[in-house]
Structure formats: structure tokens, C-alpha cells
A = this chain, B = another copy of it.
Amino acid sequence: MGPTHMTKHWGRAVPNAASETLARAAHLYYVLGLTQAEVAKRLSITRFKVHRLLAQARETGMVRIEIDVPFAERLELEAALMERYGLTAAFVCPSDETEDMPLPIVIGQYASGIVNDLLRDGQTVATSWGSTLLALARSIDPGAVQQLSVVSMIGSLSTRSSQDKYEAASVLADRIGAECFYLPGPILCDNVDAKKAIESQPVVQTAMKKAKEADVALLSIGGSEMSSLRLAGVASEADYDSATKAGAIGNFLGRFIGKDGAVIDHPLNALCLGIGPEDIRQIPVRVLCAGGKHKVAAIGAVLRREAATILVTDEDTAKALT
């Protein structure tokens, strides 16, 4: 930097002092890299004045900080989502869907990294299911945390066994070596009485209680088509049609929800086993992992209800949501 033998002071040195001092200060500080105190000395003004001058230089656009980060758009989207939906955090991954890597898998894998960092030893994780959460569970880092408890929030998709290796809960517990609390029963019961009977079982009560008291919830959204529910054959085409007619735009925790994000009034919802949207508010960290064109409306509706505190989604969905 400049010469070293500097003892004297000088400063305002010209008729149109105001603007020249401003320019001089900005130049000394931002270009030559002097400290505010050094600038002050050279201009024989106080440090405070220099500080105010620099603020002015920034405000008037004389000095700009340009940033050109890769992923800039995604980061912007994250900030926008947080702002718009009052989220604690939002994560947006690229929307690079491929033949053997459909969007739910992409998002699930991306989310796994986030959840890895989120979890702490000894915590309880409540999870629902779906292809996204399954992908998440499959790529979770084993050994990232110890003493984890995993608990199902809703009944099983599989009609055969509650310990299905296609359910997020079991895969997650398996990989991470955690104890696992299942909800032994189907997601959709045959009738209201059957549901009541299952619900009243102590095991189910315990699991549901534990789920409600979890530290972290992993959530997803079933869209209006191709949901796991439909694919698993648990809900029929006719069921879906009638739900859609009744205003369903998606499926959240097994329940069909409407435009406003609320559970709609539909017979199928009465048969749904497990804790519902209204029960998860007390779980402090609720991570919603979902993306895809046909899920946008439902995601937006759920977020507007503040059902989630963290969102993990893809770029296209994020754009649609902001």
C-alpha cells in the first residue's frame, strides 16, 4: 500500500469538497483497502464521518457489491420461500430428473444430506412414507447419529406386513441402527369401527403418542396422481375420483386435503389411521420433502397452514411456489 512515512494530515482540498471527499473516502477504503481510521486521518476528518460517508457511497450506488455465485437462483429461491411461508429453512435442489432418477428420488437424496445434519443423538424422528421419504431413508448416512428412535406417524401402506422394506420408517431405522416404533395397521381401514378398534390398541396408542412427541417429523405430499397410495392399490381409482370431486388436491399424512390445505370432508379420511395434520404442530422441526408439478398446489396449501418448518424441494417446484 502507500508510502510508510506518513505523519501529516490533509483532507478537503478542493472547491466542490462534498462530493470529492465522498469519492476520496470510497476510493481509499474500497480500492486501496485502508481502514476507516486511516482514511479519516488522511482526510483529516473523524472516523465516524468516514463511516457515514461510506454508508452514503453505498446507498447512492457509488459502491456496489456484485456477487456471482453458482446456484445463485436456487439460493434466491430458498430465501424467497423462507420469507413467503415463514419457514425456518428451505432447500432447493436442481430439477434434474432422469429416466432412472425420478424427481422424488432426487429430492429424497438431497434431503437426506439435510436431515443428516439436522438430527442429533438421542432424538425421535416421526416419519410418514412415500417415494421421496423412502429415497431419503435409503441415502441417509448410517452412523451420523446414535440412539435415534424412529416412529411411524401413519398406518402402513403395505397390506402384507407392517415392517415392509419399502416403508421409510423401517429403512431409516435399519440403516441408522435405530429402534423403530411402527403403527401396526393399514393406512386406510376397512370401516370406521375397524379403525376405532385398531386405534384403541395400546401399541398403536403408544406409537401415536411417541409420534406426537417427536423432535423431528419427516413429511411428504401425495399429489393428485401417481401417489404411493394409488400405486400401492390401497386407494382405488374410484376412491381417487370421488376425493377429487370432493375438492381434494393432494394427500398429506394419508388424508386428502383441499385447496386451503385443510382435510376435506370425505369418507376415506375417516378411515385413515395415524396422527393427522392437526397433531404435528407440536413437533418442533417438521421437514416437508416434496416436489413435482402435480404437487405444487398441495405443497403450497400445506405450507400456508404452517404445517412444515423446513421445506426441501426442487427448483421448478420452488419457482412455482414463489
A residues near B, CB below 8 A?
Answer: 2-3, 5-15, 17, 19-20, 22-24, 26-27, 30-32, 42, 44, 57, 61-72, 75-76, 79, 82-83, 86-89, 91, 93, 110, 113-114, 116-118, 284-285
Contact = CB atoms under 8 A, between A and B. Distances in A.
Given A32-B79, A75-B24, A117-B11, A70 B5 contact: no
Contacts of A83: 2
A5 B113 contact: no
Nearest to A64: B66
25 contacts: A2-B83, A7-B284, A8-B118, A10-B89, A11-B117, A13-B114, A13-B116, A15-B113, A17-B113, A19-B70, A23-B71, A26-B67, A27-B67, A27-B75, A27-B76, A27-B79, A30-B65, A30-B67, A31-B79, A61-B68, A62-B67, A63-B67, A64-B66, A64-B67, A64-B68
A256 to B, nearest CB: 29
Given A65-B65, A70-B23, A118 B86 contact: no
A19 B64 CA distance: 24
Interface of A is mostly: mixed
Q: Give the oligomeric copy count.
A: 2
Contacts of A89: 10, 42
Given A63-B66, A91-B13, A285 B71 contact: no
